[in-house]
């Protein structure tokens, strides 16, 4: 492949060889090309601020080797019940007031139960009514659950593919990559935008990172959002214990930026989100990621159960780098007046 073959058009026919060739480019060449494609598709200095709230923590029956919320992990994370709708709406109002335009709600489930759906639906409608984009991550979905979420107005459903198809079974044994792809298919069919990415720094090879990006970039449509996480090794998790005190415990910064740049080039229209692991990155590494096409971050002190760079340090970084937060398209009141579903108005009024 030559550099001239890089296009700003979205393609879903990427080959692994092409993606490997991108990873192999000289670093500055790769970042330069990614920045060009970024600028052709997005406002160069705007970054979307998203907030992630754990609406149901711990006790998850899946065995994801990186996760402190699995029942298989000895991480000390206590299992909680699903939060009350009003508590979620309060947190969403706070996130909106802090500048977030997207509110992501995550539950540590293999899949949602039928009895949980009414509260979930109320959360989606209430948060959407505040003028925030909504995203949920609840595990695997049955077709009818995807339809219910779509009907409630859910904007995005997050379901990460985690890693390459070849490495999948070494990281998770309680489900397969195909299970993951099936849920992504249901989400797409229901008309909800897909948010899907994964984690690097899990001891995988470059070839695995190529396979990971290749899987995302060859989905029938590129995910609207692509979170790129750097593993936060947590004691008591399979990967945290396995990688602790080894050189693999933290992904090399240059390789991380390369991964962001390749995601940007192969999925030009997607929001590429810096997610877990950002709190341990230098400001300069984050700046390189923004240059290479990352344009979304999670704000707040916590990412589910992991630490995150806080709002204050992000505000200082944005000021130093001259970055702007992506604007909320309408004020909460305007959106609430237009879209507030019956029954949620009272709840929102109560938290404002």
48, 51, 54, 70: residue in contact with ligand SF4 (rule CB under 6 A): 70
| Residue 67 annotated in active site | yes
Instruction: At 321, give phi and psi (nearest 5°).
Output: -90, -5
Q: Which residue has the tokens 């944005």?
A: 318
| Residue 195 annotated in active site | yes
Can residue 272 be called a binding residue for ligand SF4 (CB under 6 A)?
no
d(CA 248, CA 241): 12
Question: Nearer to ligand SF4 by C-beta: 174 or 329?
Answer: 174
| Residue 104 annotated in active site | yes
d(CA 151, CA 340): 14
Can residue 67 be called a binding residue for ligand SF4 (CB under 6 A)?
yes
- Report the nearest approach of ligand SF4 to the CB of residue 304 (Å): 8
Q: Look at residue 173 and give its three-state secondary structure.
A: coil
- Report the nearest approach of ligand SF4 to the CB of residue 168 (Å): 12
Number of residues that bind ligand SF4 (CB under 6 A): 8
Residues between 87 and 126 with contacts to ligand SF4, criterion CB under 6 A: 108
CA 231 and chain centroid, separation: 13
The pattern of x and - marking residues 132 through 171 that bind ligand SF4 according to CB under 6 A reads -------x--------------------------------
Question: Nearer to ligand SF4 by C-beta: 110 or 339?
Answer: 110
- Report the nearest approach of ligand SF4 to the CB of residue 13 (Å): 30
Q: Look at residue 52 and give its three-state secondary structure.
A: strand
Residue 60 DSSP one-character state: B
| Residue 135 annotated in active site | yes
Pick from 254, 178, 186, 261: nearest CA to 226: 261
Enumerate residues 6+ apart whose C-beta is below 8 A from 299. Answer: 49, 50, 51, 95, 98, 99, 100, 308, 309, 311, 314
Catalytic member of 33, 128, 180, 273: 273
d(CA 328, CA 199): 28
Question: Nearer to ligand SF4 by C-beta: 67 or 289?
Answer: 67
Pick from 183, 220, 201, 217: nearest CA to 109: 183
Question: Nearer to ligand SF4 by C-beta: 136 or 347?
Answer: 136
Which secondary structure element, helix H or strand E, spans residue 239, and what is its range?
A: helix 238-243
Catalytic member of 33, 128, 135, 258: 135
The pattern of x and - marking residues 218 through 237 that bind ligand SF4 according to CB under 6 A reads --------------------
The pattern of x and - marking residues 26 through 65 that bind ligand SF4 according to CB under 6 A reads ----------------------------------x-x-x-
- Report the nearest approach of ligand SF4 to the CB of residue 139 (Å): 6
Q: Looking at 153-229, list the stretches that DSSP marks H as alpha helix, in order from N- to C-terminal side.
A: 168-171, 177-190, 206-217
Q: Look at residue 118 and give its three-state secondary structure.
A: helix
Catalytic residues: 60, 64, 67, 104, 135, 195, 273
Catalog residues that contact ligand SF4 under the rule CB under 6 A: 60, 62, 64, 67, 69-70, 108, 139
């Amino acid at each position: 492949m030559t550099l001239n073959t890089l296009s700003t058009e979205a393609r879903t026919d990427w080959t692994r060889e092409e993606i490997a060739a991108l990873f192999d480019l000289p670093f500055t060449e790769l970042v330069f090309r990614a920045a060009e494609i970024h600028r052709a598709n997005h406002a160069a200095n705007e970054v979307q601020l998203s907030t992630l709230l754990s609406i149901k923590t711990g006790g998850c029956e899946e065995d994801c080797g990186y996760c402190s919320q699995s029942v298989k992990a000895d991480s000390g994370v206590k299992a909680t019940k699903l939060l009350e709708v009003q508590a979620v709406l309060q947190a969403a109002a706070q996130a909106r007031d802090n500048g977030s335009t997207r509110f992501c709600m995550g539950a540590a489930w293999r899949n949602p139960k039928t009895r949980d759906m009414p509260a979930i639906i109320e959360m989606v409608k209430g948060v959407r009514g505040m003028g925030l984009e909504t995203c949920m991550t609840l595990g695997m979905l049955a077709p009818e659950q995807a339809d219910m979420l779509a009907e409630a107005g859910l904007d995005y459903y997050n379901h990460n593919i985690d890693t390459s198809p070849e490495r999948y079974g070494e990281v998770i044994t309680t489900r397969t990559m195909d299970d993951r792809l099936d849920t992504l298919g249901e989400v797409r069919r229901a008309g909800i935008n897909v948010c899907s990415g994964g984690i690097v720094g899990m001891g995988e090879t470059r070839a695995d990172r190529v396979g990971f990006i290749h899987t995302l970039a060859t989905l029938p449509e590129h995910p609207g959002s692509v979170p790129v996480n750097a593993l936060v090794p947590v004691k008591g998790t399979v990967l945290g214990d396995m990688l602790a005190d080894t050189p693999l415990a933290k992904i090399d910064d240059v390789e991380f930026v390369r991964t962001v740049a390749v995601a940007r080039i192969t999925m030009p229209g997607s929001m590429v989100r810096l997610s877990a692991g950002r709190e341990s990155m230098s400001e300069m590494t984050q700046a390189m990621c923004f240059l290479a096409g990352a344009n979304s971050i999670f704000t707040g002190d916590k990412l589910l159960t992991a630490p995150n760079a806080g709002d204050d340090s992000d505000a200082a970084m944005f000021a130093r780098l001259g970055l702007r937060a992506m604007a909320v398209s309408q004020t909460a009141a305007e959106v609430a007046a237009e879209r507030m579903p019956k029954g949620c108005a009272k709840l929102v009024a109560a938290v404002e």
